[in-house]
Structures are given as structure tokens and as C-alpha cells.
Amino acid sequence: MIIVMQAGAAPQDLDRVVSRVEQLRLRPHVIVGTERTVVAVVGDERDATGAGFETLPGVASVLPILAPYKVASREVQAETTRVKAGPLEVGGSRIGVIAGPCSVESAEQIVGTARAVKAAGATGLRGGAFKPRTSPYSFQGMKEKGLELLAEAREATGLAVVTEVVAPEDVPLVARYADVLQVGARNMQNYRLLEAVGRTQTPVLLKRGPAATVEELLLAAEYILDAGNLQVMLCERGIRTFETHTRFTLPLATVPWLHARTHLPVVVDPSHGTGHANLVESMAAASVAAGADGLIIEVHPDPKCASSDGAQTLDFAAFGRMMDVCRRVAEAVGRSLG
Ligand code: PEP
Ligand code: MN
């Protein structure tokens, strides 16, 4: 349920509501909006029946949350959540752009890419140090050495580092280096991992599983929010269908659908979504036109030599062209890029 506080409610009124919720062994999530403060109450709501929240001082109304995801729902917060990590901002009028290689390979590669994508207007640097690979024989990433190189690239450019964490026990290590923790598509329903990133205060980029519905994506996000981390971005990265002309099928209707139901910002990944470098610019532009709050794009100094995902990776010149097109589309829809 949502307990809506009156506009002029005193801090003690809010404290009283929160303690009452806790007494009932439910969890209160206080959401301070620009217009009103609400307490989203989660847990087994049968325990709250007859609790009489309506009669407590400072309470304006008590409403049920209709959606199965609670804290993620637009019903509890009308304004889009702004996720901030250094210069990267996602969820406001600026569209955040995260760019970089699929995998960190060397200092030269990651620092060089960071400088190039920053010059073109990116505010986040991506790069996998722990790689979830389909085959156990494929390159698994540079692990901690890769994290150190990402930190070096941040030092050189100031870009926010976005990197994947694949296991709950790695969260403390990766969070020491990352500005944003990426939970990959293959791990979208790894509930222990979601809880572990939820216990940090590091922003999270949660990618949609290739076989997950958008409602399942929102329920996965709910695990992170419920554990206490409210800085969550959702990422549409394509789903598996009968189509073979692209690596995955990139459904952009996800963007306005999610915007109608959640306050969490939505990022699109046209690199994994298409699997082909020559389709990335068009689908990035289409994502911006559809209202995406952010883009995540694979970029490498020499894509044909990349140790993973080279076929879908842009070189610096192609990334610059993509940014020019996306900047014009962003302006056309009343936003700015970077
Ligand atoms: C990646 O971002 O390189 C990646 C592995 O993406 P996904 O989890 O979407 O497959
Ligand atoms: Mn990749």
C-alpha cells in the first residue's frame, strides 16, 4: 500500500508512520517527491489490514499499489528517478551515453577509448572486467586487473565507470572500482546477486534477460530497490525471437511502456540488441526518438581485433557519427545528449 502524507505533515508524523509499519513487520520505503512524501509499504499486506494508518496525524490517504512491483511503480513516485554517477546522469532531460569496449583488454585500449568517447560526448565508460561468456573457453575478462585499468581510465578522463559484476561474492571488489554496477542479461534473475547489489549504494544498470518479460524485469529491479538501493537504471538490450537477421530482437516499445509504469529510467543497448555495427546508429537514434533516458554502446579502437563482440562494436569515427545523429534527434524531442 502507499501511505500519502499531507503536504504540511511534521517529521514526527512521518516517523510515527514508519515505526507503525515496522511494528507490523512490514518494510517502509519513504519516497520524498517534489509534491508529496509517500511511504510505500511492502511485505505481506494482509498484516496491515485494519492497522488504521488513515487515522494517524499527518496522513492524507492510504491507497493500494496495484502493480505487482511496488517500489518501482510510478504509482509511488510520479517523477522519473535521476540516477547520477559523476558526470553520468540518466533520467533527466539529458540523455546519458555510456560507451566503451565489450571487454577491457589493455591500458592503451581502455584509456584510448575513454578519451575518444569523452571527446565525442559520452559521460560514462563501459568495459567488462568479469565477462559472462556463453562458452567456458571464451575470454573471461581481465578480472581485478581490468578493474584497475578502468580506474586508470577514469583518472585520465573523469568518465563514470560502468562494469559488470557476475557473482554476489564479487560485489564488494567490483564496487570498490565501479561508479555503476552492471547486472548482465544472463543474471537478471540471479536473486542473490540482485540483493547483493541492492545492499550497496552504488548505482545499478540492470539489463533485461533475453527471455524475460518486462514485468519480470521490473520485479528483478524490485529486489534491488527493496534491499535499499534506489539508484537503478533499466536496460533494454534485446530479446530472443525466431528472427535471425539480428543477434537479438530489439523491441523499442519497451521504452514508453516502462515509462508509463515505472519511475526508473530506461537505457537502450543497440549494440547487443542488433549484433551488427552497421545497425547501431539507426537503432540508437530510434531509441532516443522513443524516449530512452540513456544509451550504452560498444566502442573499440579496432573492432575487428576486439576480444569479444567485435561484430557489433563501433570504431571511434562511427561512434562520432552516431553521436551527431543522436544529438539532432535528442534536440528534436526536447532533450540533450551526453
Ligand atoms: C555486455 O554488456 O557486454 C553484455 C555481456 O551484455 P548482456 O548482459 O546484455 O548480454
Ligand atoms: Mn558485449
Question: 33-52, pLDDT tens digit by residue?
Answer: 877 899 999 988 777 777 88
Residues 278 and 322 in one domain: yes
DSSP bridge pairs for 180:
162
Host domain of residue 52:
2-63
Q: Please tell me whether residues 58 and 104 are part of one structural domain.
A: no
- Residue at a domain's end among 11, 34, 63: 63
- The total number of structural domains in the chain stands at 2
Residue 314 has a pLDDT of 99
The mean pLDDT of the chain is 96
Same domain, 248 and 137: yes
- Tell me how long the chain is: 338
Could you tell me if the CB of 141 is within 6 A of ligand 1?
Answer: no
Ligand 1 pocket test: which of 207, 250, 314 has the largest number of ligand atoms within 8 Å of its C-beta? 207
The answer to whether residue 76 sits within a structural domain is no
pLDDT on residue 263: 97
Pairwise CA distance, residues 81 & 91, whole Å: 6
- 20, 107: one domain: no
Atom 10 of ligand 1, nearest CA residue: 185
Q: How many CB atoms lie within 10 A of CB 67?
A: 17
Task: Confirm whether 71 is domain-assigned.
Answer: no
In a shared domain, residues 53 and 96: no
Query: Within this chain, do residues 227 and 257 fall inside the same structural domain, yes or no?
Result: yes
Ligand nearest to the CA of 310: 2
User: What is the pLDDT at residue 193?
Assistant: 98
Residues 57 and 199 in one domain: no
Residue 289's pLDDT is 98
Q: What pLDDT, on the 0 to 100 scale, is given for residue 43?
A: 87
In this structure, is residue 73 part of a structural domain?
A: no
Q: Are residues 59 and 150 in the same domain?
A: no
Rounded Cα gap, residues 261 and 187, in angstroms: 23
User: What CATH code is carried by the domain that includes residue 51?
Assistant: 3.30.70.1140
In a domain, 326, yes or no: yes
Query: Domain check: are 39 and 161 in the same one?
Result: no
Burial of 258 (C-beta count, 10 Å sphere; 0-12/13-18/19+): buried
104 touches ligand 1 (CB under 6 Å) = no
Q: Residue 329 sits in a domain of what CATH number?
A: 3.20.20.70
The verdict on pTM exceeding 0.85 is: yes
Position 6 confidence tier, pLDDT thresholds 50, 70, 90: very high
Atom of ligand 1 lying closest to residue 269 CA: 9
Question: Does residue 306 line the site of ligand 1, with CB under 6 A?
Answer: no
Confidence class for position 21, pLDDT limits 50, 70, 90? very high
Phi, psi (rounded to 5 degrees) for 214: -65, -30
Minimum-distance ligand 1 atom for the alpha carbon of 186: 8
pLDDT at 35: 79
Tell whether 131 and 273 lie within a shared domain.
yes
Ligand 2 centroid–CA 211 distance in Å is 17
Residues 142-190 pLDDT 10s:
999 999 999 999 999 999 999 999 999 999 999 999 999 999 999 999 9
- Ligand 1 in reach of 207 Cβ (< 6 A): yes
59 and 90 part of one domain: no
Q: Return d(Cα 178, Cα 148) in angstroms, integer.
A: 10
Q: In the predicted model, is pLDDT for residue 66 greater than 90?
A: no
Which pLDDT band holds residue 12 (cuts at 50, 70, 90)?
Answer: very high
One domain, residues 174 and 217: yes
Q: Is residue 276 part of a domain?
A: yes
Mean pLDDT score, 110-123? 98
Which pLDDT score is estimated for 230? 96
CB 250 within 8 A of CB 274: yes
pLDDT at 238: 98
Is position 75 within any domain?
no
Who contacts 94 (Cβ-Cβ below 8 Å, separation ≥6)? 335, 336, 337, 338
